[in-house]
Structure 1
Amino acid sequence: MVLDELVVAPVTITPTKPLTPTHVKGLLWTDILVKASALAGRVRLLWNDRMATLTTQSTAFWHYLDRTEPDTDWSGESAALIGERYVRFHADGGKSDTRAVGAYLDRIDASSWIHPAGRRVLDSWRAELDLLGVGDLGLGEDRPLAAAADTTLEALAERGLLLDHRRFGGPVHLDGTRWGLPLRQVVGSDGHANYLLPILRELIPAIGPGRVFLLVFDDGLAADYLLLERVLATFGGRSVRLAFSRVPIDGTVRSSRYGGWRGATLSDLSAVTGSADRDAYRLGMRLYFAGVLPRRSAQPFRMPVLRRCVGRAARLLTRTPAAGDGRPPEATLSRYRDPNGYVDPYRLTTSLLGRVPVAPELLKVYT
């Protein structure tokens, strides 16, 4: 595969709850992959908050908050407490007024508006990810999507990829039947798009020669991302899918909308007392989430194992760094490169666990 630029496009996270172990796993895998691959080639991280905020998943919840707590000052709330309201919203049925949600969506698309509760969650994430050493995702950045919704739908229709019933008051479906894939709704009969349309609005205009998209997502979205890959190919885009398994908590895998993450959020993990310094925390978290937990691992989250990884990281950082052998970083990293052009975070991370001193350029990826 001829590769001039790797564009890493992880599925974004709606700012409606705290970061759970599943989120942390995906973010750390992505962070290692981007930083290590950038030492050996051109890499760009594509993250736009509007792909997460311009959805009914976010806006219906925000309308619920405005309806039930119109006078709450969200600037003092934690992401966990906002997340508990998100769980309660779904437990109550997750219903909201269609016209009100539509007004929220229009406001976001026109002016990058985010509900104060959403901004508070993003601020919390930003502080936690900064402590963790995750590269800047552009959280809270005001950037319109690359193409308008109507423009994108027209382009899809021109290629025979839409089943459009809007003129009958019905929904719009992506039509992947030519590939043996089922129809997938992208716009409801209420006129509201789901999360796939903002992704297409951002990715289709980014297609270019020599550019490959690395689509990063959790395996619960596998069917959608297979369809997304085929649609991008129709526009001339090349892409590779990279799916992650979710991290069970107390032996159970569940969506964050159902809760069950208390005591295991990123905020909880960063607040655990211990003697490790910041670099040991950063490296230890990566040893656990990218080394102990393979990409498709079904292992549950285990705090004692995470603690041991942080302790091991502290010892690893006291070793005398390996002397440079004069080779450029891309030569050192070539042994960990996936055939699709990116550095495999699991192979790279497990290499740190041996007895051989670690090269300084590799430690920079982790701390």
Structure 2
Amino acid sequence: MTITPTKPLTPTHVKGLLWTDILVKASAAVTGVRLVWNNRMATLTTQSTAFWHYLDLTEPDTDWSGESETGIGERYLRYHTERREPDPRALDSYLARADQDGWIHPASRRMLELWRAELDLLGVGDLGLAEDRPLATATRPVIGALAERGLIIDHRRFGGPLYLDGPRWGMPLRQLISSEGHPNYLVPILRELVPLIRPGRMFLLIHDDELTADYLLLKRVLTEFGAAVTRLGLSRVPLNGTVRSSRYGGWKGTTLSDLSATSGSADRTAYRLGMRLYFAGVLHRRSAQSFRMDLLRRSVGRAARLLERTPDDPADLAGQQVMTALSRLQDRSGYVDPYRLTASVMGERAALPASALRAVYT
């Protein structure tokens, strides 16, 4: 799951991040887990770099260090409204600097800084937003490995794009590299994941349901390299009955910073648990329910009561109970299902001892 640092975190982003956080923390109690997150998977895209180019053209002297996420997000909306098509050659230097040096435009660095503060308050495990790490391999070796397996259709020698050969599996062609030589977002993902393939290692791809076609294709490609792969698609969270990309707006008043700033009597622990009860329990995997602040508030109140009535437990007893409880909720692929776990936590009887409840949910 990749999120470009170009806009605020919307309810759809929050749902994906909290599902991932619960899944990783709970699954780590019963099996080995590694979360693969790299900022360059989101920045080595035309979606990010074209926006950066737009900012440099329209606001070359802006100091972004004190800008709000709403302010940056409004520029992102304006960029898409104006529909400016950048000179492809103008993006070359942005992509090269981001790939070779880990460079991020000051506006996006500011956005990552704001995200980190919000996610720290929410108790989301460290995603590495402050780290800079090169992708596991370069583009050329990955494209070469795809070509060796006959998985691409390459028109670059004719001045055209390079495609993944989806039709071999009854899927559409999917452009990987444009005729200008620019990768789409699947290329950095492949660059990071293909070198990680090992015998006995299972890959779980958590993604937006709107991108299912791409992730079905990605699953097929990784399988061709010998990987065991499964997917977890999550529906978007409608706002006022409408599902739309964040580039089209409609998110004001519902961003993660808005939610964390909403007044109430709950403490931080209840806020963290309540957010998870709502986004992983009320809004299940394929929920079509619109975001509702009243239900979120109710979930936070429920979290406070749950924390009050869940007794403390001896550490050794907790360990035994946790292993037993979580192993019952494992998917066939081995990961603990966040919805099933959260639904059990929301029941009348505590599904987890107090220490485990706090470790997984807060």
Give the shorter-chain TM-score range: over 0.9
**1:18-61 per-position Cα deviation (integer Å, ceiling 9, x unaligned):** 00000000000000000000000100000000000000000000
Report the count of equivalent residues. 357
- Work out whether residues 177 and 183 of structure 2, in 8 Å CA contact, stay in contact via their aligned partners in 1: yes
- Work out whether residues 229 and 240 of structure 1, in 8 Å CA contact, stay in contact via their aligned partners in 2: yes
Aligned ranges for residues 244-263 of structure 1 at < 5 Å? 244-263=234-253
- The alpha-carbon deviation at position 287 of structure 1 amounts to 0.4
- Work out whether residues 246 and 253 of structure 1, in 8 Å CA contact, stay in contact via their aligned partners in 2: yes
Match of 1:86 among 76, 87, 101: 76
Corresponding residue of 2:359: 364
**1:237-288 per-position Cα deviation (integer Å, ceiling 9, x unaligned):** 1110110000000110000010110000000000000111000000000000
The alignment's C-alpha RMSD in Å is: 1.1
- The alpha-carbon deviation at position 97 of structure 1 amounts to 2.0
- Work out whether residues 310 and 353 of structure 2, in 8 Å CA contact, stay in contact via their aligned partners in 1: no
Aligned ranges for residues 24-63 of structure 1 at < 5 Å? 24-63=14-53
- Work out whether residues 321 and 353 of structure 2, in 8 Å CA contact, stay in contact via their aligned partners in 1: no
1:339 corresponds to which letter in structure 2? R
Length-normalised TM-score, structure 1: 0.95
**1:191-245 per-position Cα deviation (integer Å, ceiling 9, x unaligned):** 1000011100001000001101100000110000000000001100111011000
Question: What 5-or-longer segments of structure 1 have no aligned partner?
Answer: 1-10
- Work out whether residues 61 and 94 of structure 1, in 8 Å CA contact, stay in contact via their aligned partners in 2: no
1:178 corresponds to which letter in structure 2? R
1:44 alignment partner, SS class: coil
Distance (whole Å) between structure 2 residues aligned to residue 350 and residue 161 of structure 1: 42
Say whether residues 1:188 and 2:178 are aligned partners: yes
1:204 corresponds to which letter in structure 2? V
Corresponding residue of 2:339: 346
2:320 alignment partner, SS class: coil
- The alpha-carbon deviation at position 310 of structure 1 amounts to 0.5
Distance (whole Å) between structure 1 residues aligned to residue 336 and residue 84 of structure 2: 40
Aligned ranges for residues 128-143 of structure 1 at < 5 Å? 128-143=118-133
Corresponding residue of 2:57: 67
Corresponding residue of 1:355: 348
Corresponding residue of 2:279: 289
Aligned ranges for residues 191-340 of structure 1 at < 5 Å? 191-321=181-311, 323=313, 324=317, 327=320, 329-340=322-333
Distance (whole Å) between structure 2 residues aligned to residue 289 and residue 195 of structure 1: 26
Distance (whole Å) between structure 1 residues aligned to residue 84 and residue 206 of structure 2: 27
Distance (whole Å) between structure 1 residues aligned to residue 347 and residue 84 of structure 2: 49
Distance (whole Å) between structure 2 residues aligned to residue 326 and residue 170 of structure 1: 57
1:43 alignment partner, SS class: coil
Once the two structures are overlaid, the 10-residue window that deviates more, 155-164 or 92-101, is 92-101
- The alpha-carbon deviation at position 328 of structure 1 amounts to 5.2
- The alpha-carbon deviation at position 100 of structure 1 amounts to 1.4
2:20 alignment partner, SS class: helix
- The alpha-carbon deviation at position 325 of structure 1 amounts to 6.9
Distance (whole Å) between structure 2 residues aligned to residue 320 and residue 366 of structure 1: 13
1:285 alignment partner, SS class: helix
Distance (whole Å) between structure 2 residues aligned to residue 33 and residue 202 of structure 1: 21
- The alpha-carbon deviation at position 321 of structure 1 amounts to 1.6
1:343 corresponds to which letter in structure 2? V
2:34 alignment partner, SS class: strand
- 1:326–1:219 Cα change, 3 Å: closer
Match of 1:21 among 11, 16, 22: 11
- Work out whether residues 164 and 172 of structure 1, in 8 Å CA contact, stay in contact via their aligned partners in 2: yes
Corresponding residue of 1:115: 105
Length-normalised TM-score, structure 2: 0.97
2:90 alignment partner, SS class: helix
- The alpha-carbon deviation at position 364 of structure 1 amounts to 1.6
- Share of identical aligned residues, percent? 70
- Work out whether residues 322 and 353 of structure 2, in 8 Å CA contact, stay in contact via their aligned partners in 1: no
Corresponding residue of 1:4: none
- The alpha-carbon deviation at position 326 of structure 1 amounts to 6.8
Distance (whole Å) between structure 2 residues aligned to residue 253 and residue 119 of structure 1: 28
- Work out whether residues 60 and 94 of structure 1, in 8 Å CA contact, stay in contact via their aligned partners in 2: no
Moved beyond 4 Å, runs of 4+: none
Distance (whole Å) between structure 1 residues aligned to residue 210 and residue 162 of structure 2: 22
- Work out whether residues 119 and 140 of structure 1, in 8 Å CA contact, stay in contact via their aligned partners in 2: no
1:338 corresponds to which letter in structure 2? D
- The alpha-carbon deviation at position 188 of structure 1 amounts to 0.4
1:34 corresponds to which letter in structure 2? V
Corresponding residue of 2:94: 104
